[in-house]
Structures are given as structure tokens and as C-alpha cells.
Amino acid sequence: MKKRFLIASMIVALTFVGCGATTEENNTDNVSTEVIQDEKDVSADTSATSDTAESEETDNEGVEAVCEPEGKYSATFTEEIEGEEISYEVSYTFNSDGTGVYDGQDTIDFTWDACYIYMNDSKYPFDVNGNYISVSEYEGTQDYYKE
């Protein structure tokens, strides 16, 4: 009895999978027809396309500049030590050649790429968000603002 139920379940499942594949093939045909129509529309107005491409290049230049940090980013932290509030600054200075300097309790040289800061045999992910960077450190993610 269990074998019959199992076989019947498999047949039903295979039927649904087969019907889904046929539907996807039909949708692909519809999409390709839409793409051909879009290509005809685009080729009919080439002057508008070239104007748009030039403005996109200008916009992309600004985006690329924001994606790579350069210069000094810092944050001020406050801690309570023996009942007294102590403030201190921590900073990351990024050089365009992929090197930099961390300045906290110690001054440490580091290297960096588009995703990570490499320092003391560890790597720390970071994101550039306009005028600040977010660095994932031991204590959590910290934001450092461009000076």
C-alpha cells in the first residue's frame, strides 16, 4: 500500500514539473518577441540613445569616485573609566595606492581593496556610504566620517 502511494505521489509531482517546464518555454517565446520589438524601438531613435549614454557616463564617474575611499575618516568615542568620561578619536587614512594608516591606541599600517581592510593578519569588511565608511570591527560595525 505504501509503495502505491509513493508511486502515485511521484507521478503527480512529475506531472506538475512537466507542466511547469512547458509554461516556462511559452513565457520565453513571449519575452523574446518583446525583446525584438524593443530592439526595433531603440534603433528607430539613435540620437536619443547617444544623448542618454553620454549622461550615464557622467553619472557613473561620480559613482565610481564614491565607491573607493580616499583621505581620512574618523570617529570620536567616549568611555567611562573609573567614573570619569574619556573621549578619544580613532581614524582610518586611505591612500589611493591601496595602503593606509589606522590611528587608535596604536598607529598601524594596513592595506585595502574594494571590500576589505587588511591589518594584523585579519581582514575587516567595509562599505563606503557617501561621506562616511562603515567598518566591521571586533566590537561591531562602526561609522567613520570623512574629514
Asked which of 66, 86, 110 is the last residue of a domain, the reply is 66
Asked if 48 and 92 sit in the same domain, the reply is no
Over residues 56-111, the pLDDT tens digits come to 444 444 444 446 898 999 999 999 999 999 999 999 999 999 999 999 989 999 99
Asked if 57 and 76 sit in the same domain, the reply is no
Asked if 76 and 142 sit in the same domain, the reply is yes
Rg (CA), the chain: 28
Give CA 57 to chain center in angstroms: 20
CB atoms < 10 A from the CB of 92, how many? 25
C-alpha distances (whole Å) from 82 to each of 58, 87, 125, 134 are: 54, 14, 33, 30
Asked if 32 and 90 sit in the same domain, the reply is no
Asked if 57 and 98 sit in the same domain, the reply is no
Asked if 57 and 80 sit in the same domain, the reply is no
Asked if 79 and 137 sit in the same domain, the reply is yes
Asked if 77 and 135 sit in the same domain, the reply is yes
Domain that holds residue 105: 71-146
Asked which of 31, 66, 101 is the last residue of a domain, the reply is 66
Residue 37 pLDDT > 60: no
